[in-house]
Amino acid sequence: MKMVDVPVCKCLACGCHLDQAGSPGSEATPIGGDITICFKCGHLMAFTDSLMLRELTEPEQIEIAGNGYMLRLQKLRARMLQ
């Protein structure tokens, strides 16, 4: 997984400093509206157009609630933390 630098910001839930992002199986650079997961606490957020973090809107929460890719990412994160 290729990691790319993003502006330094904090997780909106745990305050963990975040300065890189990556997507398994992709070398894409995040863009505004992409969903991200805090590796430390698992909080789901979205990138703004300036690649800062914001909370998900209610429609975004509903859209990803049963998203298989996001569920696999959460399981991968949990395994990596064991």
By CB under 5 A, name the binding residues for Zn ion. 11, 13-14, 16, 38, 40-41, 43
Other Cβ atoms within 10 Å of 6 Cβ, number: 18
Least distance between Zn ion and beta carbon 44 (Å): 10
Instruction: Find the shortest distance in angstroms from Cβ 27 to Zn ion.
Output: 24
End-to-end Cα spacing for the chain:
19
Q: Are 9 and 52 in contact (CB under 8 A)?
A: yes
Q: Smallest distance from the beta carbon of 48 to Zn ion, in angstroms?
A: 17
Between residues 14 and 62, which has the closer beta carbon with respect to Zn ion?
14
Nearer of residues 39 and 60 to Zn ion, judged by Cβ: 39
State which H helix or E strand residue 5 sits in: strand 3-10
